[in-house]
Amino acid sequence: MSKKRCVAMLLAGGQGTRLGKLTTRLAKPAVPFGGKYRIIDFTLSNCSNSGIDTVGVLTQYQPYILNSYIGIGSSWDLDRKNGGVSVLPPYMGQKGGEWYRGTANAIYQNMYYIKQYDPEYVLVISGDHIYKMDYSEMLDYHEQRNADATIAVLEVPWHEASRFGIMNTDDEDRIVEFQEKPAEPKTNLASMGIYIFNWKALEKYLTEDEQKSDSSNDFGKDIIPAMIEDEKNVFAYSFNGYWKDVGTLQSLWEANMDLLDDDPSLILNDPAWKIYSVNPNQPPQYIAPQAKVTRSLVNEGCVVYGEVYRSVLFYGVHVGLGSTIKNSIIMPNVKIGANVTIENAIVESGTVVEDGMTLGSSDGSISLIADGEIVSVPK
Amino acid sequence: MKKVVGVINLVDEKNTLSELTNHRSFASVPFAGRYRLIDFSLSNLTNAGVNTVAVFTREKYRSLFDHLGSGREWDLDRHQGGLFFQPPADEERRSTGDIHSFHENLSFFKRSLSHYVLVTNGQLVWNVDFDQIIEEHEAQNADITVVYKPCDDPYTSGSHYNVLYTNDDERVDRLNLGVEPLPGDNVYLNTFLMKSSLLISLVEDSIESGKYQSINEAIAASLDRYHVHAHHFGGYVTFIDSVESYYRYSMEMLDPNVTQELFYNTGPIYTKVKHESPAKYLESSTVSNSLIANGCTISGTVENSILFRGIRVGKGAVIRNSIIMQKCEIGEGAVIENVILDKDVSVSPNETVTSEDQPRVIAKSTVI
């Protein structure tokens, strides 16, 4: 393999327990988003658009749908002769094998994958977030600062800061302290879980970390604090764009609704920064004479006879006559009968809603309709 | 299944769609919101497991070439077989019939090791099960099977149709080329199946004798020598041959029964992927009885219309009974009625583009 400037390692093994039944059969990065995408499309498209053509995708939890979705990476232009996308599941070796214990251990177990490309830098990202980011700019910043590690950060509201890994930086954006979910945060600069490392430095720290029996083998808890302790050059790279961790039903719902603004902060149709996904091959959507559709995203293959307001319809959704869908996310191939009312709900792929049913409520809670069950989550 | 090689024969295309075929081949005319006409026949072939397909073209093939690419979207990027894009090898023969295209490509048929050749064209919108035709061909012990549809379309006009007559056993007695069909006539859909060896000998004989300019002439002249079986196609198919019929068949796509048959009943129809986001309907949008493709942003009113990908409809704009192709911009307050806007047309705010009776075509990239 020829040498690469940067290899990306994409952590996609997350179970996403806070998404409830949505993730019974699929890993969080494979959860549908925005009417046609899956969450992981955003990071894969970022890689492709940033010119990073070598991506190792680390899978673990319920990998089948994710693996088949990624395929050979052709949807993201990542089907390359040298590099491209490689799915890296946990495996057995001669001395046994194990599940990935933490984010750092997952990379450690796949060091041979990185070594074959002998890269200058390794970009560590996760498939859990919705954002558009040019990693090549972060890479330039990392090089200019002569950094050993660079962590992308963004300012979060102060009252939420204690949910994140918080950086304390000096005047030159050098990270002097890293607090994982601090009770009393000193800043509101939160880690986005996007790291660039000099490969040689990372290799050393990952190997050392493996020797420590008390380590949780995690970037945020172990590797980054160890590098700061050793006074390595660890810099914060500020990001100002849209970024959302869609780890809960509430945040998943909000991030979908954010797309419905007149001028959303996340533009899906920028020709210079396309969000790629696997194409389901459906005809255009049909909006019937009786239908009303406003403030919504509707994908190909939908057939709408009813009323849709402030909602996101994935491909192949049918909305029957007299039905009303409001403030909801309807995932692929959901069939909604006649005279149905759905409000503030997330309806899982393939659900069939019988005529006349009422799902969800207007009390502000978000209902998840999955696996034939209705679960309400208060706001 | 016996190995079949497919041909999409575009050599005899007539550029009868006014501005729509000024700069592109008939087969690459956009249709139904996100497709090109060729997508239908091409998908039908691959859905039947035909993984070697040649596209014979004559002229204006730039947009077609761009659309088909490596054939990946149709699963035709193969090591064995795949897509063969065949522009004319000999420029001087452009104006003569398609027999020269077959002759120029004889090595393609000889080398493909296929048992059968299935030839169709790029202007039919249909979803046909070619497997069934192959089975029928074998069951009938036919030498050639030709596909037809009884014409019940009062709009087919012009003497560019081929009409066939059969005996009681669905064996073809007569094939009249270049005629205007009467209601009830069996219109030959320029789609046939025969053994590769038979095609090769028909082509070689035609060239040697110099008698026939087209493969259909050669078939028509050999009805007494070979068993030519007629397959009755009972499904939906279009006879597009003018702007008017293009418009009318497009509007039929607003009938969910038609789209169900075309897109869901037999096999999927594939096309080039554009990676557009889902269509976005804003607060002031009013859309009814319309087909909307991805990438559209709609703030205005759309009625009885077809919007291709990536169209912006400004606030207060009204689109009625119209076909708007890819990437058109409709400014605020503009009114569009009974027109076909080709790609990249830009209509300024408050402009009116209408047509009284005939659908009017606005050429590609026009600014109004």
pLDDT digits (tens, 9 = 90+) for A8-51: 999 998 777 888 888 888 889 999 999 999 999 999 999 999 99
Q: Which token pair is B292?
A: 């909307």
Instruction: Return all residues near A379 (Cβ < 8 A) that are at least 6 apart.
Output: A250, A364, A365, A366
Instruction: Return all residues near A267 (Cβ < 8 A) that are at least 6 apart.
Output: none
C-beta neighbour count of B207 within 10 angstroms: 16
- Asked if A287 lies within 8 A of B292 by C-beta distance, the reply is yes
Kindly list the residues from chain B whose CB atom is less than 8 angstroms away from the CB atom of residue A36: 277-278, 294
Does A35 touch chain B if contact means CB atoms closer than 8 Å? yes
Of B271, B273, B278, the CB nearest to A299: B278
- Asked if B290 lies within 8 A of A287 by C-beta distance, the reply is yes
Lowest mean pLDDT segment, chosen from A24-33, A228-237, B92-101: B92-101
Q: How many whole angstroms from its chain centre is CA B271?
A: 13
Does A34 touch chain B if contact means CB atoms closer than 8 Å? yes
- Asked if A299 lies within 8 A of B310 by C-beta distance, the reply is no
Helical pair B38-47 and B130-139, crossing angle rounded to 10 deg:
60
Give A126's strand partners.
A11
Predicted TM-score of the model (pTM): 0.93
Kindly list the residues from chain B whose CB atom is less than 8 angstroms away from the CB atom of residue A292: 286
**A234 closest CA partner among A171, A146, A317:** A146
Does B332 touch chain A if contact means CB atoms closer than 8 Å? no
Distance CA B325, CA A355 (A): 36
- Is residue B156 a contact partner of residue B206, using CB atoms and an 8 Å limit? no
- Asked if A281 lies within 8 A of B270 by C-beta distance, the reply is yes
Kindly list the residues from chain A whose CB atom is less than 8 angstroms away from the CB atom of residue B268: 281
Residue B245: is its pLDDT beyond 60? yes
Which pLDDT tens digit goes with each residue over B190-235?
999 999 999 999 999 999 998 999 999 999 999 999 999 999 999 9
Q: For the residues B168-196, what does the mean pLDDT come to?
A: 93
Residue B100: is its pLDDT beyond 60? yes
Which pLDDT tens digit goes with each residue over B32-41?
999 999 999 9
Q: Which token pair is A326?
A: 């409001």
Does B139 touch chain A if contact means CB atoms closer than 8 Å? no
Does A288 touch chain B if contact means CB atoms closer than 8 Å? yes
Please give the mean pLDDT across all residues of chain B: 93
Kindly list the residues from chain B whose CB atom is less than 8 angstroms away from the CB atom of residue A289: 288-289
Is the model more confident about B240 or about A3? B240
Looking at the complex, report in whole angstroms how far the Cα of residue A210 sits from the nearest Cα belonging to chain B: 42
Kindly list the residues from chain A whose CB atom is less than 8 angstroms away from the CB atom of residue B265: none
Instruction: Give the pLDDT confidence score for residue A94 in this predicted structure.
Output: 76
Q: How far apart are the first and last CA of chain A?
A: 51
Of B32, B290, B310, the CB nearest to A283: B32
Does A279 touch chain B if contact means CB atoms closer than 8 Å? yes
- Is residue B330 a contact partner of residue B324, using CB atoms and an 8 Å limit? yes
Of B268, B278, B282, the CB nearest to A36: B278
Of B256, B294, B310, the CB nearest to A299: B294
Confidence of residue A352 (pLDDT cuts 50, 70, 90): very high
Q: For the residues A292-320, what does the mean pLDDT come to?
A: 97
- Asked if B259 lies within 8 A of A290 by C-beta distance, the reply is no
CA distances from B261 to A315, B253, B267 (A): 18, 10, 10
Q: Which token pair is A281?
A: 């091959």
Q: For the residues A163-175, what does the mean pLDDT come to?
A: 90
Residue A191: is its pLDDT beyond 60? yes
Residue A297: is its pLDDT beyond 90? yes
Looking at the complex, report in whole angstroms how far the Cα of residue B343 sits from the nearest Cα belonging to chain A: 17
Q: What is the dihedral of CA B8, B13, B16, B22, to 10 degrees?
A: 90
Q: Which token pair is A157?
A: 């509201």
Distance CA B236, CA B258 (A): 7
Instruction: Give the pLDDT confidence score for residue B93 in this predicted structure.
Output: 61
Kindly list the residues from chain A whose CB atom is less than 8 angstroms away from the CB atom of residue B275: 274-277, 279
Q: How many whole angstroms from its chain centre is CA A182?
A: 24
- Asked if B295 lies within 8 A of A269 by C-beta distance, the reply is yes
Kindly list the residues from chain B whose CB atom is less than 8 angstroms away from the CB atom of residue A293: 281, 285, 287
Tell me the DSSP string of A113-176.
HHHTT--SEEEEEETTEEE---HHHHHHHHHHTT-SEEEEEEE--GGGGGGSEEEEE-TTSBEE
Those of residues 291-310 in A touching chain B at CB distance below 8 A are 291-300, 303, 308
Kindly list the residues from chain A whose CB atom is less than 8 angstroms away from the CB atom of residue B34: 283-284, 300
Residue B1: is its pLDDT beyond 60? no
C-beta neighbour count of B357 within 10 angstroms: 7
Kindly list the residues from chain A whose CB atom is less than 8 angstroms away from the CB atom of residue B236: none
Q: Which token pair is B2?
A: 């016996």
Instruction: Return all residues near A228 (Cβ < 8 A) that are at least 6 apart.
Output: A175, A176, A177, A178, A234
CA distances from A138 to A78, B143, B262 (A): 21, 67, 48
Confidence of residue A379 (pLDDT cuts 50, 70, 90): low
User: Look-up: residue for tokens 């497919």?
Assistant: B6
Distance CA A214, CA A172 (A): 33
Instruction: Give the pLDDT confidence score for residue A179 in this predicted structure.
Output: 85
The residue in chain B having the minimum alpha-carbon distance to the alpha carbon of residue A296 is: B281
Lowest mean pLDDT segment, chosen from A256-265, A314-323, B151-160, B215-224: B151-160
pLDDT > 70 in chain B, percent: 97
Kindly list the residues from chain B whose CB atom is less than 8 angstroms away from the CB atom of residue A281: 268-271
Residue A2: is its pLDDT beyond 80? no
Instruction: Give the pLDDT confidence score for residue B94 in this predicted structure.
Output: 56
Does B63 touch chain A if contact means CB atoms closer than 8 Å? no
Lowest mean pLDDT segment, chosen from A14-28, B246-260, B290-304, B349-363: A14-28
| SS3 (DSSP) at B56 | strand
Confidence of residue B143 (pLDDT cuts 50, 70, 90): very high
pLDDT > 90 in chain A, percent: 75
Kindly list the residues from chain A whose CB atom is less than 8 angstroms away from the CB atom of residue B256: 286, 288, 303
- Is residue B322 a contact partner of residue B305, using CB atoms and an 8 Å limit? yes
What are the helix (H) ranges across B16-98?
A: 38-47, 62-68
Looking at the complex, report in whole angstroms how far the Cα of residue B294 sits from the nearest Cα belonging to chain A: 6
- Asked if B278 lies within 8 A of A300 by C-beta distance, the reply is yes
Distance CA A179, CA A177 (A): 7
Q: For the residues B128-152, what does the mean pLDDT come to?
A: 94
Instruction: Give the pLDDT confidence score for residue B321 in this predicted structure.
Output: 96
Q: For the residues A211-233, what does the mean pLDDT come to?
A: 91
Question: Does the interface predicted TM-score (ipTM) exceed 0.85?
Answer: yes
Q: How far apart are the first and last CA of chain B?
A: 54
Q: How many CB pairs under 8 A join A and B?
A: 104
Of B286, B291, B310, the CB nearest to A284: B291
Q: Report the residue of A259, A287, A315 to disrupt the B interface, i.e. the one with the largest count of B CBs within 10 Å.
A: A287
Looking at the complex, report in whole angstroms how far the Cα of residue B297 sits from the nearest Cα belonging to chain A: 9
Those of residues 245-274 in A touching chain B at CB distance below 8 A are 260, 262, 268-269, 274
Of B259, B284, B286, the CB nearest to A286: B259
- Asked if B286 lies within 8 A of A292 by C-beta distance, the reply is yes
Which pLDDT tens digit goes with each residue over B49-68?
999 999 999 889 999 999 99
Looking at the complex, report in whole angstroms how far the Cα of residue B235 sits from the nearest Cα belonging to chain A: 18
Which pLDDT tens digit goes with each residue over A88-146?
988 877 777 788 888 999 999 999 999 999 999 999 999 999 999 999 999 999 999 99
| SS3 (DSSP) at A315 | coil
Confidence of residue B155 (pLDDT cuts 50, 70, 90): low
**B232 closest CA partner among B99, B132, B117, B97:** B132
C-beta neighbour count of A265 within 10 angstroms: 12
Q: Report the residue of A48, A285, A310 to disrupt the B interface, i.e. the one with the largest count of B CBs within 10 Å.
A: A285
Does B252 touch chain A if contact means CB atoms closer than 8 Å? no
- Asked if A284 lies within 8 A of B292 by C-beta distance, the reply is yes
Encode burial over A135-165: b for 16+ CB neighbours within 10 A, e otherwise. Answer: beebbebbeebebbbbbbbbebeeeebeebb
Q: What are phi and psi of A53, to 5 degrees?
A: -110, 10
